[in-house]
Structure 1
């Protein structure tokens, strides 16, 4: 196994590699294409290679598929469960016919139902890190987290986390049971946690930060040239940042990142991931291919001088990205 470093996530004892593996793209999402068509054999090979490289922190959710992603991971880790750290999420309501209702459900009875279903789908009797995927505006966060705390007490869950949560809600949740991690989109293209008080609150409370989409949903790879590069059913077509003039304005910023990466002798992806590491977060770049996994893991050994970091952040100052990171309805569900 590689000697990739580990880090503490939160203050309750959870230790993870400094970089994880986002598994969302390994299955479709309610019929939508996620970053291209996935191949199950290749996805499983990627999970196995990740373990060899020391990246044994896998991130999934019952939403992905729905449920199919957890089942894929179950196949991949079979016989080696104890070698992996599994994070999954609940909150997007999945009904008894395994269909997404697209409602957010954080009610205590749904928390209990969701965890049993995830345990079964993952083929395990415990989940290392269990997140609330989105805050249910109809259910007090104290009720949701109180039930999640019961799962910790019963041994079904080891640590709990929240995703896309405001600093204010995080404080309320943490007062009920210690939160080990908050997961939010964070990259050179999305720096809201630096502005909205979340980072300061995490530091104060001793909570870890997991950054998803550290490559800006593919923008920061430098591979995208046109909005037409995506299949018709690719969910990025719904994102304002990837539409029309916004796309081309953002592409100009990527060109400068490419130049900086070339000067350091690394890829734009490695530069983007290394930046999230330098900011003290645990990135979980998603991929379903061994080649990209290996490239991403190499980012863990990239370092920056203070001057390089300042220059990089001056290229993409806060608020410089054109367009929101989700459509209007999805934006209504973040930072609650």
Structure 2
């Protein structure tokens, strides 16, 4: 497993991490807690040291599962979690839920309790709409938590470039979590170069395009009720992206699956610190981790990728 530095934070992270949204059990179809724990254990065995979760994943259940895995090796695992969506935009009176620093600190402390730890390595503002009151509240709260030693790195999870610029106006943003993949390359234009220039670490969510880039989906694929992808087969873009995946198949081989190709593409960008594909089983973890090998992509690989996906700026 290769490691990288998480921006100005100086934290060393495995370039393949573990995305813990699916194990929350409320958005990605059926999942068993025992299998989720085995998957995380296997990830750590294979050199993964970065686990990303959020308070809203399974209404805190994901964090509770992560707690079971890190309990006896807390200092060996970089734990990232997020706050801001648990309140769902507005309270019953229509006011921002996270409009004051003390509210954010309470949410942070709730995550500490669920994770069974007294500090968090990376805490992300999980709000992607730009309400000035919430933005300022998060910036103030995260600064206080860092000063207290309960937080190592402050982050924001967003694809809004202007939001990142605002959050980093004083040069205090440590990490950005953003959506980036072979099929979603819009962040290459402004966000990734900015992060590289300003020493902001980059955590890539969606490197497998929520499973699309595993190459397992077809025009006949159906997703169960309760799966965030349930409506995908009815969307026009679904067919288009299936066709793009098929055009990329010549780059796969017995030694490189479609998913591993997708992960290597993300890791090939110099601004990227860690990619966090989701996994629900040890076997999925093993497939993901195998992407951390060298060389990543050849110039011939990149040329074909450019021809197939250059329009993927969404």
TM-score (structure 1 length as normaliser): 0.85
Gaps of 5+ in 1: 96-100, 325-336
The correspondence for 1:39, drawn from 32, 41, 54, is 32
With over 3 angstroms needed to count, the CA separation of the structure-2 counterparts of 1:106 and 1:74, relative to structure 1, is: farther
Cross-structure match for 1:8? 5
Distance in 2, Cα, partners of 1:266 & 1:165: 29
With over 3 angstroms needed to count, the CA separation of the structure-2 counterparts of 1:244 and 1:146, relative to structure 1, is: closer
Cross-structure match for 2:242? 251
SS state at 1:19 partner: coil
Say yes or no: does 1:19 pair with 2:16.
yes
Cross-structure match for 1:328? none
SS state at 2:218 partner: coil
Distance in 2, Cα, partners of 1:139 & 1:227: 44
How many residue pairs get aligned? The number is 304
Cross-structure match for 2:91? none
Cross-structure match for 1:174? 168
Distance in 1, Cα, partners of 2:230 & 2:99: 29
Deviations 1:22-65 (Å, cap 9, x if unpaired)? 01111223xxx31x311111111111111111101000000101
With over 3 angstroms needed to count, the CA separation of the structure-2 counterparts of 1:136 and 1:190, relative to structure 1, is: closer
Deviations 1:67-95 (Å, cap 9, x if unpaired)? 11101111122222111110000011349
Query: What is the correspondence of 1:1-336 to structure 2 with a 5 Å cutoff?
Result: 4-29=1-26, 33-34=27-28, 36-94=29-87, 105=98, 107-140=100-133, 141-176=135-170, 178-195=172-189, 197-226=190-219, 228-238=221-231, 242-262=233-253, 265-280=255-270, 281=272, 282-302=274-294, 303-319=296-312
Q: Report if the CA contact (8 A) 2:87-2:97 is conserved.
A: no
SS state at 1:92 partner: coil
Q: Report if the CA contact (8 A) 1:181-1:208 is conserved.
A: yes
Deviations 1:225-259 (Å, cap 9, x if unpaired)? 136421122111245xx434332222111111222
Cross-structure match for 1:327? none
| Greater RCO structure (CA 8 Å; 6+ sep) | 2
SS state at 1:11 partner: helix
Q: Cα offset for 1:297? A: 0.5
SS state at 1:41 partner: helix
Q: Cα offset for 1:180? A: 1.7
With over 3 angstroms needed to count, the CA separation of the structure-2 counterparts of 1:122 and 1:229, relative to structure 1, is: same
Q: Cα offset for 1:318? A: 2.5
SS state at 1:307 partner: helix
RMSD: 2.1
Q: Report if the CA contact (8 A) 2:51-2:77 is conserved.
A: yes
Distance in 2, Cα, partners of 1:261 & 1:113: 47
Q: Report if the CA contact (8 A) 1:276-1:283 is conserved.
A: yes
Q: Report if the CA contact (8 A) 2:55-2:82 is conserved.
A: yes
Q: Cα offset for 1:106? A: 5.2
